[in-house]
Amino acid sequence: MSSSPPVPAAPPAPASAQLALPALSSLTLREKIAQLLNVGFRGCHPAECALALRDIREHGIGGVILFDQEMVDGSAGRRNIESPTQVRDLLAHFQAHARIPLLTSIDQEGGRVNRLKPAYGFPASISHEELGRLDDPAATVRHATTIAQTLASVGLNLNLAPVVDLDAHPDNPIIKGKRRSFSADPEAVARLAADYIRAHRAQGVLTCLKHFPGHGSATGDTHLGLVNVTATWTDRELIPFQRLIAAGLCDMIMSAHVFNAHLDPERPATLSRAVITGILREQLGYTGVITSDDMEMKAISSHYGLEHSLPLAINAGIDVLCFGNNLSYDPDIAPRALDILERAVTSGLIPESRINESCTRVLALKRRAGLLT
């Protein structure tokens, strides 16, 4: 049996990690808004990443998200990942230019959703579904530890995982179809996810539960268009979130772009105050960071323009807006989003108190991650 590539050694913390937590009053409105943006980019080496560096240095974005493949226009070319050394050097360069240290994120669930592949020199991984079949805490911890060590070794501090959607529909193309669910049993999902999260925390890596309030019962893919779960969703899908919130194991939660008329008759979850604030904040008692799924997925972008969707998401209770910049590519997505949100605040469409709440949560998460003192 061939062995997996070894996990690279962790690099020293960047100098920016020694910065103190900034007072909210010391930041301008635009600087506070910038902390709410997580932006994808093109390039593997600093010389290729002039636009990402502009967004970090000039616009002060709060985070970056990495992909291994370029997916615009159906192509599958090179994106941000070539090797462990390359990723480590790139992220160290980014952090060195950030006034406030960055959240550096990736979708490294294991199995098919796996950006750090063995082909690039990273260890192999297995899917949530395979871990669910094993149903062995030691195996879950072992595999999750390898993932977390791999991320930490190259300067990635946030894994956009685990998936806590239920294996709730046999025709689900994006959860069941890609083996991303631990189980159909919500208690098993919560238990396996807890082990996965604890293994990451032991390596100093943040995690993100996804996709609230549940994507497992869907029969469509929100990357491609509107997905209506009104007839298939049940409140059993909330149980993993409920259990992990109660256990204090939620660093971040990602919203789903699914539409459920029983929860909100007008808007998909990401844009719904009834879902994000009413259910997640008030009913389940979650006080941490909530990130959107990619705002460029067609469930949002085909039905709402940025001018409409970004204020709706913030007013719904979303703290971090994710722009993968990979389903479509806009070199100026960061300044565009900043302009839209700044106008929305100055016009009174978004209360500045909402920006302050979200920025406070993001900075507190960075402090917990050891990025700020």
Sheet holding 103-106, edge to edge: 206-207, 158-159, 103-106, 63-66, 37-40, 320-323, 289-294, 252-255, 209-212
Q: Is residue 308 annotated as part of the catalytic site, yes or no?
A: no
Whether 169 is a known active-site residue: answer: no
Our CA dihedral for 240, 296, 356, 17, rounded to 10 degrees, sits at 80
> Of residues 251, 264, 293, 319, which has the active-site annotation?
293
Rg of the Cα trace of the chain?
19
Alpha-carbon torsion, ordered 243, 246, 248, 250, to 10 deg: 50
Contact 194/248 with Cβ under 8 angstroms? no
The candidate with the shortest Cα–Cα distance to 60, out of 90, 34, 25, is: 34
Q: How far is CA 280 from CA 103, 153, 263, in A?
A: 23, 33, 12
CA 116 to CA 200: how far, in whole Å? 16
Nearest to 296 by CA among 327, 335, 334, 255: 327
The answer to whether 55 and 334 are in contact (CB under 8 A) is yes
In the chain, how many H helices and how many E strands?
Answer: 12, 13
Residue from 93, 143, 211, 223 carrying the catalytic annotation: 223
Structure tokens belonging to residue 74: 């159906």
307 contacts 347 by C-beta, under 8 angstroms: no
Alpha-helix residue ranges (DSSP H) falling in the chain: 29-34, 50-57, 84-96, 128-134, 137-154, 186-202, 239-246, 273, 298-301, 306-316, 333-346, 352-368
Catalytic residue ranges: 223, 293
